[in-house]
Chain A
Amino acid sequence: MTFNNVRRAIFAMTLLIIALPAQAVLKIEITKGVQGALPIAVTPFELDPGTVRPPEDIAAIVAADLRSSGLFNPIPRNEFPQHPTSANDVNYQLWRNQGIEKLVLGRLEAISEGGYSVQFQLLDTIYGRQMIGYAIPATRADLRRVAHKISDLIFQRLTGMRGAFSTRIAYVSTQMSEGRKRYVLQIADFDGYNAQTIYSSDWPLLSPTWSPDGKRIVYVSFESQRPEIFIQDIASGNRISVAGPTRLNSAPAWSPDGQKLALMRSENGNPDIYILDLASNNLTRLTDYLSIDTEPVWMPDGESLIFTSDRTGRPQLYRISANGGEPQRLTYEGNYNADADVSPDSREVTFVHNGGRGFHIAVQDLETGQLRELTEGSLDEGPSFAPNGSMILYATTYNGRGMLAAVSADGQVHQRLRLQEGEVREPAWGPFPQTP
């Protein structure tokens, strides 16, 4: 076998390895919906005559997106009072009679070899008028992306809130491969589709966190048999080890400007919070206390951080200025409050809370200090806010298996994301995609 053949063979194998986990699709099940979700009808997108049938059912994707937010109740197609192909065909009275106030119509037009123009209109059946209408160019390969974009536009128009349907999530799944447990770091669309493996190892992986620009992921790998922090570029797959070897390096958190990492580091058996400047590699100690200080997370303005400390005997949340100083205790309810994430509007913090009935996901108002439990699992952990603050993704166990779940920030809508094989944990909701 020549060198080139070997190289080709290795390349082919790599492709195969990357392609396989994509089969493992996360499926969303709404387990508890909100009363009074807005009824909406998303009609099947019409195909222009002669257009090659697209690989995706755009209307179904849009309906699923809107349903997952918990704010909408998409009506099943067999309950539609009519099947209009254009706005001119719509009999608004028929839709109003069924209590359906919002209607989405769409069509696909072939504009080039393998290219489409995806057009849609959002109609208000009460006033009988169009609320928004767009034409978006797409290739066959990115129809799902376009469908999520349509969901974002509809969501924003109807709720005033930016949709998070075009965002991605990262998580760690464990899969058995030839009798061995394999830890797989994956990223996927927020709905679990297009899962891609970005790193896998025989040793545990944890704490994946997105860079603010969504281009890199920082995570902890035990591949050298001790926790080591890596930053990986998603597109190229290149990765670098940061924060050199010591007894313990973990819990990385990206600063909002992307320039620094907060992390937990133990020099001599005393886990403290440090800040690593990524350009200069300067490491500054932020906390110094003979107790566990870990799980730092930045406030969106980058001025202060929230972290977990057991300095009073049990883990509780504290807030400290990014310049150091005396931390201020935030949580008092329950004997275990840890692993915080801050809402994008800086108003709330979500964390793992144990008030005596198991480890639940809770939210606390940073202004009033008021705490609400959002979930009822026994071992819920790893809460991560959606970039629009509407939902919180977390890890839970269901029938003894680790899986991801999401809850609306008001606790009303609950859903599970099921991976068909393996276990899933350590979710991290990525940032909004950068507008080109």
Chain B
Amino acid sequence: MGILSFVAGASCIRYGTFLLVFKYKYYRETFMAIHNLFAIALVTTLTLASCATSEGPLPLPSSGGVEQTVPPAGTQGEQDKTSGLNNQGRFRLNPLQDPNSPLAKRMIYFDYDSDQVKADSLATISAHGKYLARYPTQRVRLEGHADERGTREYNLALGERRAGSVSRLLQLQGVLDDQIEIISYGEELPAASGHDERSWALNRRVEIVYGELYGER
């Protein structure tokens, strides 16, 4: 836990500096940035507190090694079927597979032409940040997307900025830079095929994709 706190602390300083630079460039969005910083700082504190006090068996198989270095299993395949059994032989669902876990939410939605994470996504990002910080060998891919309005190349850049926003919030919670892979598909792979606000809202998103799902569509 000590190491994780240190990492989280270092990320905080890094992110804080980053935001200070941003304040000058994004003067219009400074208020939101500060607002987010406070929200995240709060969430981080809660996260670290809950990490520090949580006891009991990990929800993932432990083969006797150090807990933090055991990678969580993926969500598919033979391996997963045994992943719920811990040393005590009690069944525990991998939180990545548990539909009731906050980790089941893998979509972060955005406003039109914006890369600002909305307040209602912070809890989801926090849950993923907490999980990933706890398992530093688990990798995650953030796939940024945009709706069809505007030009394709601009939307490609916008999708990347959105994934970057989610990445910064994860790192603020202690997730390591090399745990995160960022990719943007712009408007090329919409989640909904309609040409209306309802579809557009579903398409302006960052998808959080865990390890073994890499490469799938």
Contact = CB atoms under 8 A, between A and B. Distances in A.
B215 A248 contact: no
Given A204-B188, A247-B182, A339 B160 contact: no
Given A292-B158, A308-B154, 19 more contacts: A206-B188, A207-B153, A226-B183, A227-B184, A248-B184, A250-B156, A264-B156, A266-B160, A269-B161, A271-B160, A271-B161, A290-B21, A292-B154, A295-B151, A314-B113, A338-B154, A339-B153, A354-B150, A359-B149
B167 A269 contact: yes
B131 interface: no
Nearest 9 pairs between A and B by C-beta? A269-B164, A204-B188, A339-B151, A271-B157, A292-B157, A290-B25, A251-B153, A338-B151, A294-B157
B25 A291 contact: yes
Interface centre among A226, A251, A271 (most CB of B within 10 A): A271
B28 interface: yes
B107 interface: no
A258 B13 CA distance: 45
A264 B152 contact: no
A315 interface: yes
Interface string A393-436: 00001001000000000000000000000000010000000000
Interface string A343-368: 00000000010100001000000000
Given A204-B189, A400-B195, A315 B154 contact: yes
Contacts, number: 96
Contacts of B185: 204, 222
Given A225-B183, A269-B182, A289-B25, A247 B153 contact: no
A295 B151 CA distance: 9
Nearest to B113: A314
B26 A290 contact: yes
Interface in B1-60: 21-22, 25-26, 28
A387 interface: no
A124 interface: no
A225 B188 CA distance: 12
Contact of B150 (A222, A226, A352): A352
Nearest to B189: A204
A317 B193 CA distance: 29
B153 A250 contact: yes
Interface string B135-161: 000000000000011111110111011
Interface in B159-195: 160-161, 164, 167-168, 182-185, 188-189, 195
Interface string A289-329: 11110110000000000001011011100000000000000
Contact of B28 (A247, A313, A426): A313
Interface string A368-388: 000000000001011000000
Given A206-B188, A266-B157, A313-B28, A308 B215 contact: no
A95 interface: no
Interface in A218-258: 222, 225-227, 247-248, 250-251
Contact of A222 (B25, B153, B188, B195): B188
A354 B22 CA distance: 27
A336 interface: yes
Interface of B: 21-22, 25-26, 28, 113, 148-154, 156-158, 160-161, 164, 167-168, 182-185, 188-189, 195, 215
B148 A352 contact: no
A314 B112 CA distance: 11
Report, as a range, how many residues of chain A touch the other chain: 35 or more
Nearest to A340: B151
Contacts of A314: 113
B153 A264 contact: yes
B210 to A, nearest CB: 16
A166 B153 CA distance: 29
A339 B167 CA distance: 28
Contacts of B183: 225-226, 247
Contacts of B164: 269
Contacts of A291: 25
Contacts of B182: 247, 269
A315 B150 contact: yes
A264 B150 contact: no
A308 B157 CA distance: 11
Contacts of A290: 21-22, 25-26
A89 to B, nearest CB: 55
Contacts of A295: 151, 153-154
Contact of A225 (B25, B153, B156, B215): B215
Contacts of A339: 151-154
22 contacts: A204-B188, A206-B156, A247-B160, A248-B160, A250-B153, A250-B157, A266-B160, A269-B168, A290-B21, A292-B161, A294-B154, A294-B156, A310-B113, A315-B113, A338-B150, A338-B154, A339-B154, A352-B150, A352-B151, A359-B149, A359-B150, A397-B195
Contacts of B195: 379, 397, 400
Interface in A264-290: 264, 266, 269, 271, 289-290
Given A204-B189, A271-B160, A379 B149 contact: yes
A248 B167 CA distance: 15
Nearest to B148: A379
Contacts of A289: 25
A40 B62 CA distance: 84
Contacts of A354: 150
A269 B160 contact: yes
A107 B150 CA distance: 50
Contacts of A381: 150-152
A379 B195 CA distance: 10
Nearest to A227: B156
A264 B157 contact: yes
A351 to B, nearest CB: 9
A42 B190 CA distance: 48
Contacts of B153: 206-207, 250-251, 264, 294-295, 308, 339
